C-alpha cells in the first residue's frame, strides 16, 4: 500500500478537549491514517472542496469524517446535508459524534444519511474505546466502493 492509499481521518469538532481525546484515541489505535482536525463545518467544507486555506491540497477524499453536530458557523447536520447532496461526497462515510441524546438529532442524522451516530460518553475510557474502534473499522475494515 503506498502513501496515496492511506486516506485521512477527518475530525470536525469544536471542543478542543473532545478533539484532543479523539486524537489520542485514534493515535492509540495505531492507524497509519493521518488525522486532520478542523473546528467547524465551514472549515470542513473548505477542506473537502480544496478551497480557502486548503486550496493547494491533493483532492483525495477522507476515509471517514467524524463530525460533531453542534458547532459554531455551521453545524454537523448542515455539513452532512451538503455532502449527501453532492455526488462526489455522497459515499464518504460520516460518523456523527454528539453529546446529544435528543431523538430528533438522531433521527435527522440517519434521515440525512449518516453512516453511524455515536453519543459522546462523559466517561473518558468509553470515549477512547468508541473512537479507537470507529477508526479501526472505517479506516481498515470497511470496504468502500471504488
pLDDT at 55 over 90: yes
Residues 116-138, buried b or exposed e (16+ Cβ, 10 A)? bbbbbeeeeeebbebbbebbeeb
Is residue 2, in this structure, part of any structural domain at all? no
Q: C-alpha angle 124/13/132, rounded to 5°?
A: 45
Q: Which pLDDT belongs to residue 116?
A: 86
Is residue 3, in this structure, part of any structural domain at all? no
- What is the rounded average pLDDT of the residues 43-54? 96
pLDDT at 80 over 90: yes
Is residue 122, in this structure, part of any structural domain at all? yes
The model's pTM is: 0.85
pLDDT digits (tens, 9 = 90+) for 90-133: 999 999 988 877 888 889 999 999 998 888 766 677 777 777 77
| Domain harbouring 111, CATH code | 3.40.50.2300
Amino acid at each position: 500500500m503506498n502513501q496515496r492509499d492511506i486516506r485521512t481521518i477527518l475530525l470536525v469538532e469544536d471542543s478542543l478537549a473532545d478533539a484532543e481525546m479523539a486524537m489520542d484515541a485514534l493515535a492509540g489505535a495505531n492507524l497509519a491514517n493521518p488525522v486532520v482536525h478542523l473546528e467547524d463545518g465551514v472549515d470542513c467544507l473548505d477542506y473537502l472542496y480544496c478551497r480557502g486555506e486548503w486550496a493547494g491540497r491533493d483532492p483525495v477524499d477522507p476515509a471517514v469524517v467524524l463530525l460533531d453536530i453542534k458547532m459554531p458557523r455551521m453545524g454537523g447536520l448542515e455539513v452532512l446535508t451538503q455532502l449527501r447532496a453532492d455526488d462526489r461526497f455522497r459515499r464518504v462515510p460520516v460518523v456523527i459524534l454528539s453529546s446529544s441524546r435528543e431523538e430528533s438529532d438522531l433521527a435527522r442524522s440517519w434521515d440525512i444519511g449518516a453512516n453511524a451516530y455515536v453519543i459522546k460518553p462523559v466517561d473518558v475510557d468509553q470515549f477512547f474505546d468508541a473512537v479507537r474502534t470507529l477508526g479501526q473499522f472505517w479506516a481498515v475494515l470497511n470496504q468502500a466502493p471504488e
